[in-house]
């Protein structure tokens, strides 16, 4: 069954302006987390059926920004998280068009909560992460969604190098 697509004005909550938008500069996230916004938007665009091929751009942007070695796993993790959230919600979450230049400086409250949820999960700040997850999931609890988010956060922890050192395969001779 097709779900109703929410617009920015349909969504209200803490910290957002009257029109449901938050300046990106007001989102409490590091540059890695803010860089997830266009990737998430492209996945949402694809999963809601507005641009079914937008998933390809999500992977391309992730690889361009983070390199293929890190970008593809980041995109893959976000694909699962966004897909799970869309499956569980009654309506599609509000999001901005990722291809519109005017939207780069603003986020919907849903997008801001999603980024801040990841911010807190990457830092093991459980209470804050739960509060943001409640906004993202419209006060629903889903263990699969939380597990996917925590797996992403664990794989992309704060302080981990963006490009982990590659250890070439080889044999170690023990005498």
pLDDT at 5 over 70: no
Q: Determine the pLDDT at residue 175.
A: 67
State how many domains the chain has.
1
101 lies in which domain range?
Answer: 20-155
Whether 151 is covered by a domain: the verdict is yes
Whether 140 is covered by a domain: the verdict is yes
Whether 98 is covered by a domain: the verdict is yes
Distance CA 41, CA 55 (A): 9
Whether 97 is covered by a domain: the verdict is yes
Please identify which residue in the block is written with the tokens 């490009």.
163
CB of 27 within 8 A of CB of 124? Answer: no
Encode pLDDT of 137-167 as tens digits.
Answer: 999 889 999 999 999 999 998 875 554 444 4
Average the pLDDT over each of 11-15, 41-45, 51-55, 75-79 and give the range with the smallest value: 11-15
Whether 168 is covered by a domain: the verdict is no
pTM given for the model: 0.79
Whether 24 is covered by a domain: the verdict is yes
Distance CA 156, CA 164 (A): 11
Encode pLDDT of 104-142 as tens digits.
Answer: 999 999 999 999 999 999 999 999 999 999 999 999 889
Whether 165 is covered by a domain: the verdict is no
Whether 164 is covered by a domain: the verdict is no
């Amino acid at each position: 069954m097709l779900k109703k697509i929410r617009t920015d004005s349909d969504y209200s909550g803490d910290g957002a302006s009257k029109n449901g938008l938050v300046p990106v500069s007001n989102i409490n996230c590091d540059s890695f987390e803010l860089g997830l916004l266009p990737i998430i938007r492209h996945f949402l665009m694809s999963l809601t059926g507005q641009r079914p091929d937008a998933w390809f751009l999500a992977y391309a942007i992730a690889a361009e920004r983070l390199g293929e070695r890190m970008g593809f796993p980041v995109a893959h993790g976000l694909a699962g998280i966004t897909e799970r959230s869309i499956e569980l919600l009654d309506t599609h979450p509000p999001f901005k068009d990722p291809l519109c230049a005017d939207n780069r400086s603003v986020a919907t409250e849903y997008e801001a909560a999603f980024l801040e949820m990841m911010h807190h999960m990457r830092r093991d700040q459980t209470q804050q992460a739960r509060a943001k997850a409640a906004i993202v999931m419209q006060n629903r609890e889903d263990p699969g969604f939380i597990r996917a988010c925590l797996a992403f956060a664990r794989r992309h922890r704060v302080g981990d190098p963006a490009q982990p050192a590659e250890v070439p395969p080889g044999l170690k001779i023990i005498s």
